[in-house]
Structure 1
Amino acid sequence: MNKKPNSELISRDNPMWIDEMFKPSVRLSDLPQGLCEKLARPARGLQKAPVKVSTTIRLSPDVVQAFRAGGDGWQTRIDAALKDWLRTHSPG
């Protein structure tokens, strides 16, 4: 299933790729071992802060809109607001 390309995203500086453009490419594993080691991502270090739990939550549209209006980090701000609420309330 081919999607129709978004013409607004295609320009001379950013052409649409066609199959012929991929032919000269090679897999990372097919490159010389020394080059593979240099290009490989370093292993991630230990987690500096406790790991958060991924969850799905339904919030009112006005709540989400208000937090998103503050820009990036809106989910972290919701987390902080809930932590603040827990300091003075019982979740039960």
Structure 2
Amino acid sequence: MSENKPNTPSTWVDPDDAPELGAEFFREADLYQGDQLIRRGRGRPKLANRKILLSVRYSPEVIAYFRQTGEGWQVRMDAVLREYVRRKA
């Protein structure tokens, strides 16, 4: 007599094999309240040369040009401005 066997392999892992979670794990973890993120974890080191959030107005054609270049357009715009400053310094 043939027996029915599951077609998919089991992904179950014995919880006793899990590593111990220390204070560092919880210090760097994201904090959620239900589905809402309350605080991002501290896993990413702070950059030495951090960017500054600033509200600036640009002409529509400048924004349209950079946006049409796709994702990362603000980074490319920053690179163009940095290159301009480097040449003028």
Provide the TM-score with structure 1 as the length reference: 0.48
Determine which structure has more spread, i.e. the larger CA radius of gyration: 2
Structure with the bigger RCO (C-alpha within 8 Å, sep 6+) is 2
**Structure having the larger proportion of residues in strand:** 2
**Structure having the larger proportion of residues in helix:** 1
Provide the TM-score with structure 2 as the length reference: 0.50
